[in-house]
Structures are given as structure tokens and as C-alpha cells.
């Protein structure tokens, strides 16, 4: 039971975690803050938080657990903002999709041994507290990224928190995490953004009536909040760019084969694609 939980950033992911912890009876009182006051008010109205603090530091004062659920680009500055008010026993986690900033967060905090980075792989194209859902993490992976500075019992406590809301916890080094999600999440988002942007052109008015699952599924995450993904893609640039180049090279190979009418070359591309799909998507 968390006597006082602080939620900084009261949108989709943070809101879902709160609803899930509340459904498990694990939260006594939740204090929230969001730099967008309307988002915080809506989270309050939805029962995600019990009260709204005047700023992030005030929310964190006396907390047993602080969840940083801001956009990736605001995590480090938020850690700096709450640092003066944190107690020595307070656990801190974040839910950001890029973990190379874990070292900076540690340097910002007075008790870095009590900070454990988290990345629940359970987002969707939806955003805001209205999209929060207590079952969002059920059966989903959640990476936690302890470092040499992290206290083992802090890792166990954060892992237990995610397991309590139904997630499968994987422990990974922060940089290894970033390399993996560049392939499994960030590159698929780039592909969806490029596809959807290519269709932002005058189209036959019948086109939306003929949209099949390949179009729906292939562009779904292009409906995501742009600000969130600008941050994520920019923050994971080093791991992501070589993969974007590989995607560009495969697209060029398919284009060349179609243009040349070279069915053998096209078939090689499509067979490579089928093997790639089988490789990255778990059976079942």
C-alpha cells in the first residue's frame, strides 16, 4: 500500500498505471501534477488522482513513490525539480520510452539508488487521461533498467509494482533497452509515420471506403500525439538512424524490383520480409 503516490504527468500511461494500482487497492492517496493544468483537472475528475499540486516538487513532497510520466524530453528537468523535496526512502520511476537518459536522472536525484527506470510497452495511438485504462498493462512487457547505482531492493519493489498490474517484467541495461526498442517500436513508428504522411495528398474520395486492414494497421500509430514521438525519435537517434537507413534500403530495393519488372528480385525482398516478421514477432 502506497500511503502517498505522486504522479507527474497525468496522461494516458501515468493515468493507466494509477487506475491499475487503485484497482489492486495499492494506493491510499495520489497527488498529481501536469504542466497542462487542464490535463491534471481531467485526471482529477476521472478519479486518477485525489488532488492537484501546484508544481512537481509539491506533488513529490512526502511521497513513498514518484512516477515521472511526462514526455521523454521533460523527465530529466522534472527529476531536478523534485530533487529538493524527496525523502531518502522515496522510490522514483519514470515510464519513458528512451532509457539513455537514466544516468542523467540519477545525477539529478539525491538518492539515485532508489530510482529505477521503467518502460511499459503498452502504449497506443491514444493520449490523455480519458484514454487511461486499468487493464492497459495486462500481459504486456515492461522493461526496468537498473544500473550499478541502483539498490537491489528498489529494483524488486518497482518490478513488483509492474507485476501487480499484470505486466511481464524484463530487466535490461538502459542502452541495451534503447537498441532493442529502436527496432521493435521506434522503427515501426517511423514506418507508419512515413506511410501515413505519403497518403496526405489529394486522394480519390472513394479511398476511405476501400481502406482494408493493411492500411488501418499500417497507419494506426501515425495517429499518435506528434509531440510525444518527436521527443522519443530525437532522443533515440543513435540507435534509430541505422535502422531507418536499413528501412530506406529495403524500400529502394522493392522499388527497383517493381520498376524493372524483376519478379525474382521482388520475391527475394518479400521472402526476406516474411523471415524478418517471423524473427521479431513472438509466436502466438
Q: Which of residues 57-86 bind a copy of itself (CB under 8 A)?
A: none
Least CB distance from residue 60 to a copy of itself, whole Å? 28
Q: Rank residues 37 and 199 by Cβ distance to a copy of itself and give the closer one.
A: 199
Between the alpha carbon of residue 122 and those of residues 14, 41, 61, 110, the distances in Å are: 12, 24, 29, 30
Q: Rank residues 47 and 188 by Cβ distance to a copy of itself and give the closer one.
A: 188
Least CB distance from residue 142 to a copy of itself, whole Å? 10
Least CB distance from residue 97 to a copy of itself, whole Å? 10
- Residue in 51, 153, 160, 176 binding a copy of itself, rule: CB under 8 A: 176
75 to 134, contacts with a copy of itself by CB under 8 A? 121-124
Answer left, alpha or beta for residue 87, where phi above 0 means left and psi between -120 and 50 means alpha: beta
C-alpha cell at 78: 522534472
249 to 278, contacts with a copy of itself by CB under 8 A? 249-255, 258-259, 261, 263, 266-267, 269-278
Least CB distance from residue 118 to a copy of itself, whole Å? 13
Question: Rule CB under 8 A: is residue 284 a binding residue for a copy of itself?
Answer: no
- Residue in 22, 58, 170, 175 binding a copy of itself, rule: CB under 8 A: 170
Secondary structure of the chain in HEC code, one letter for each residue = CECCEEEECCCHHHHHHHHHHHHCCCECCEEEECCCHHHHHHHHHCCCCCEECCCHHHHHCCCCEEEECCCHHHHHHHHHHHHHHCCCCCEEEECCCCCCCHHHHHHHCCCHHHEEEEEECCCCCCCCHHHCCCCCCCCCEEEEECCCCCCHHHHHHHHHHHHHCCCEEEECCHHHHHHHHHHHHHHHHHHHHHHHHHCCCCCCCCHHHHCCHHHHHHHHHHHCCHHHHHHHHHHCHHHHHHHHHHHHHHHHHHHHHHHHCCHHHHHHHHHHHHHHHHHHCCCC
- Residue in 79, 90, 165, 240 binding a copy of itself, rule: CB under 8 A: 240
Q: Which stretch, 23-31, 52-60, 99-107, 242-250, contacts a copy of itself (CB under 8 A)?
A: 242-250
- Distance in angstroms (rounded) separating the CA atoms of residues 54 and 31: 10
Q: Which stretch, 17-25, 29-37, 147-155, 247-255, contacts a copy of itself (CB under 8 A)?
A: 247-255
- Distance in angstroms (rounded) separating the CA atoms of residues 149 and 56: 24
Q: Rank residues 27 and 167 by Cβ distance to a copy of itself and give the closer one.
A: 167
Length of the chain: 284
Least CB distance from residue 164 to a copy of itself, whole Å? 20
What x/- string results for residues 14 through 53 when contact with a copy of itself is judged by CB under 8 A? Answer: ----------------------------------------
Least CB distance from residue 184 to a copy of itself, whole Å? 5
Least CB distance from residue 123 to a copy of itself, whole Å? 7
190 to 209, contacts with a copy of itself by CB under 8 A? 190-201, 203-204, 206-209
Least CB distance from residue 235 to a copy of itself, whole Å? 10
Amino acid at each position: 500500500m502506497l500511503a502517498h503516490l505522486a504522479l507527474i504527468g497525468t496522461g494516458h500511461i501515468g493515468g493507466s498505471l494509477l487506475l491499475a494500482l487503485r484497482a489492486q487497492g495499492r494506493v491510499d492517496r495520489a497527488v498529481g501534477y501536469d504542466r497542462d493544468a487542464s490535463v491534471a483537472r481531467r485526471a482529477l475528475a476521472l478519479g486518477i488522482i485525489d488532488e492537484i499540486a501546484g508544481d512537481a516538487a509539491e506533488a513529490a513532497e512526502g511521497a513513498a513513490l514518484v512516477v515521472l510520466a511526462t514526455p521523454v524530453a521533460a523527465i530529466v528537468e522534472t527529476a531536478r525539480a523534485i530533487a529538493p523535496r524527496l525523502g531518502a526512502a522515496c522510490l522514483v520511476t519514470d515510464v519513458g520510452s528512451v532509457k539513455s537518459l537514466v544516468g542523467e536522472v540519477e545525477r539529478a536525484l539525491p538518492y539515485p539508488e532508489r530510482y529505477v527506470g521503467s518502460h511499459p510497452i503498452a502504449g497506443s495511438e491514444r493520449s490523455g487521461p480519458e484514454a487511461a485504462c486499468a487493464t492497459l498493462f495486462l500481459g504486456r512487457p515492461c522493461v526496468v533498467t537498473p544500473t550499478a547505482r541502483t539498490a537491489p531492493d528498489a529494483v524488486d519493489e518497482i518490478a513488483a509494482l509492474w507485476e501487480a498490474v499484470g505486466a511481464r517484467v524484463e530487466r535490461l541495461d538502459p542502452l541495451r533497452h534503447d537498441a532493442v526498442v529502436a527496432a521493435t517500436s521506434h522503427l515501426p513508428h517511423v514506418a507508419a509515420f512515413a506511410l501515413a504522411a505519403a497518403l496526405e495528398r489529394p486522394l480519390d474520395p472513394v479511398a476511405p471506403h476501400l481502406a482494408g486492414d493493411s492500411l488501418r494497421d499500417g497507419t494506426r500509430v501515425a495517429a499518435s500525439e506528434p509531440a510525444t514521438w518527436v521527443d522519443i525519435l530525437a532522443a533515440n537517434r543513435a540507435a534509430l538512424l541505422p535502422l531507418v537507413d536499413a528501412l530506406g534500403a529495403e524500400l529502394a530495393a522493392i522499388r527497383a524490383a517493381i520498376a524493372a519488372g524483376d519478379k525474382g528480385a521482388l520475391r527475394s525482398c518479400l521472402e526476406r520480409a516474411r523471415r524478418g516478421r517471423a524473427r521479431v514477432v513472438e509466436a502466438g
